[in-house]
Amino acid sequence: MTSLLDILKEADLRVGFTEKFKTVAVREALGRDTLQKRLILSLYGLGTNTGLNRVSAGEHGESYKDLLYVRRKFIHKDNLRNAVSEVVNAIFRVTLTGW
């Protein structure tokens, strides 16, 4: 069975919606691969109402403080809107080709 976390990761690999998350800080010091992993884990924890603390208890090597930092600096209303519109547009491009 495919988990929701796998679906998020696959959607990001195909669409690249994590590119829409820009920092509110002055500079960005995280590598893109690290940021992508932390963003997906944070979005999973927030979207499923599991919480960042429980997600950080998994076997992926990311701590609660790391996920909390990403949530505070990257996950905001405008960034979420841009990411959702990117995924929705990709779905429409695939489904509307038959019309």
- Return the pLDDT at 96: 80
Which pLDDT tens digit goes with each residue over 4-28? 889 999 999 999 999 999 888 877 7
Average pLDDT of span 85-93: 92
* Mean pLDDT, all residues of the chain: 89
90 burial type by CB count under 10 A (0-12 exposed, 13-18 middle, 19+ buried): middle
Per-residue tokens: 86 = 């990117």
